Amino acid sequence: MDMDWSAEDRDFIRELRAFLQAELTDDLKAAGRWMTSVYGDHEASMEWQRRLHARGWAAPAWPKEHGGAELSVTQRYIFARELARAGAPPVSPMGIGMCGPALIGHGTAEQKAHYLPRMLTGEHFWCQGYSEPQAGSDLALLNMRAIRNGSDFVCSGTKIWTTHANVANWIFCLVRTSQQDRPQKGITFLLIPMDSPGITVRPIIMSSGEHIQNQIFFDEVRVPVGNVVGQVDDGWTVAKYLLEFERGGSAYAPGLQVRLDRIREMASQGPAPLIEDPVFAAALADAQIRIDVLEVFEMRVLSIAARGGRPGTNGSAMKILGTELSQHLTELAMEAAGPAGLSFQPDAGVSGGPNVLPHAAGVRGNRDAAIAPLKYLNDRAGSIYAGSNEIQRNILAKAQLGL
């Protein structure tokens, strides 16, 4: 891929930077700069999505016919890099980044016309109903039932670890519509309004005190058959397509680079800067090399997508490399924070939900050091969500190496 910016790309950079200068308020910058979990603060994310949508940039990769920006692969990399450097908060990926591509690839014309515009405006805020207590990374073991009854499916069961189910008004679910010879068969991809009678959402409070995850209970919830995406009993096809985008639909490297730069800055402070330690300096250099390698790989994957291809197993590789490198950066940040990173200061960070544990209000000392342990603990989930990294390695071993 030719990384010399074209005149058009340079114009896009100037246009994007001007937009960020005008629209990225101090509050939005703070929500991005100090976030500690995978997802940003809900209100800040929605406000940022509203501003992006007004400019036509809420869905950079979507086709223009569906309201997207249809940016080139180079422009999408530029977009991710500039937003990361500016400290913009993330937009929730559940709708625009996951369900949206699934609808574009497998939905009916009516479904696209109804759901996609509402995803862009934020009128519909989505959560993902995949994992169950006995079916997480081994997702095909799910057994939430959906029984056909006239023009509806009647759904009963539970979903767990559902991010932002407490604020979402729609959920895309995988449900069991039949029992067949293989567990992957008989699964259907279904869109369910969260205000349906029979739905109960219960919070899962993390050991850190944060309320981001939830468990959802479905008690004979009626859902129109017209809410099926793809074919009944063939939802696994849609799910695999969606997971490719969840695991490899965006670039990790720009955000990782910003975080590494902040670790360097933190390690350069104090009377005996840690960055002068040759062992720690070597660790920073190693992290920089890994980010550079990941960036090249991501550009290749995005180039494939720009030519109409799909992430495929490259998405699994990106998920492994990106999440494990992210976890490594949290370890370097903890080392750079030193004793200043030992206290519990949830107010120092901006998480994806409120913290319900008692704690002293305010922030004491270096804020980067204070958020280091919060980010470290939250990022432990990175190698588990979207299919554990062990599962991703199995996928690569089978599909790429024939093992």
Q: Summarize pLDDT for 178-187 with one digit per residue, the tens.
A: 999 899 999 9
Residue pLDDT, tens place only, 202-249: 999 987 788 999 999 999 999 999 999 999 999 999 988 877 665 555
Distance in Å from the first CA to the final CA of the chain:
31
The catalytic residue among 47, 244, 246, 335 is 246
Mean pLDDT of the chain: 90
Residue-level pLDDT at 305: 66
Q: What is the rounded CA–CA span in Å between residue 403 and residue 398?
A: 5
Asked if 44 contacts 349 with a C-beta cutoff of 8 angstroms, the reply is no
Q: Which of 53-67, 150-164, 309-323 has the lowest mean pLDDT?
A: 309-323
pTM above 0.85? yes
23 catalytic residue (yes or no): no
Lowest mean pLDDT segment, chosen from 79-83, 269-273, 291-295, 296-300:
296-300
**Contacts by 191-196 with C-beta closer than 8 Å and gap 24+?**
191/99, 191/111, 191/115, 191/223, 191/227, 191/228, 191/229, 192/129, 192/155, 192/218, 192/221, 192/223, 192/227, 193/169, 194/127, 194/165, 194/168, 194/169, 194/170, 195/169, 196/221, 196/222, 196/223
**What is the distance between the alpha carbons of residues 238 and 188, in angstroms, rounded to a whole number?**
9
* Amino acid identity at 389: N
Q: Please state, for a pLDDT cut of 70, what percent of the chain lies above it.
A: 96
**CA 337 – CA 335 distance, rounded (Å):** 5
Structural domains of the chain, ranges and CATH numbers in brackets: 7-91 (1.10.540.10), 125-235 (2.40.110.10), 251-399 (1.20.140.10)
Would you give the DSSP letter of residue 219? E
Helix (H) or strand (E) holding 203: strand 199-205
- Amino acid, single-letter form, for residue 265: E
The pLDDT score that the predictor gives to residue 310 is 66
Rounded Cα distance, 117 and 63, in Å: 12
pLDDT in tens, 356-370: 887 778 788 889 999
Gap between the Cα atoms of 367 and 201, Å rounded: 34
Burial (CB count within 10 angstroms: exposed 0-12, middle 13-18, buried 19+), residue 40: buried
